[in-house]
Amino acid sequence: MKYVIDSSVAFKWFVSEANSDKALLVRADFLNLKCELHAPDVFSVEMAHAFTRAERQGRMTIQAGADSLVDLLDTLPVLHPILPDLLPTAYAISSKMRIGVYDSTICHRGGE
């Protein structure tokens, strides 16, 4: 199976939140090669931003954020470049389906 992972779900791998247990099951399946995870190439930046935001909110220490980033970078999903080819199609999908552009960035690549 192939899944598109959103950074808000992947963040739950590192900071306990509602549904972290479900997110961790997805990660376990990914690490055990039971599924493929895909994401737009901004995924890593979004995750780094989420870690620093969690640090400022007192939800994780600076060291925990740095360690989480290293862990993430060691186990990244397959990243797909957004520019220049993906973004125009994602925009069209977003407009047609009435969903966010970010969520549309992988929709047309589902057959890969």
* Contact criterion met (CB below 8 Å) for 29 and 66: no
Domain chopping of the chain, boundaries: 2-79, 81-112
Which CATH number applies to 2-79? 3.40.50.1010
Mean per-residue pLDDT of the chain:
89
Q: What is the pLDDT of residue 40?
A: 85
Question: Quick one: pLDDT band at residue 112, thresholds 50, 70, 90?
Answer: very low
**CA 60, CA 25: separation in Å to the nearest integer?**
21
Residue 64 and residue 80: Cα distance in Å, rounded?
A: 27
* Position 111 confidence tier, pLDDT thresholds 50, 70, 90: very low
Prediction pTM value? 0.76
CA 38 to the chain's CA centroid: 8
For residue range 61-100, list pLDDT tens digits in order. 999 999 999 999 999 999 988 777 778 888 888 899 888 7
Residue 40, strand partner residues? 80
In this structure, the dihedral spanned by the alpha carbons of residues 78, 82, 85 and 88, taken in order and rounded to 10 degrees, is: 130
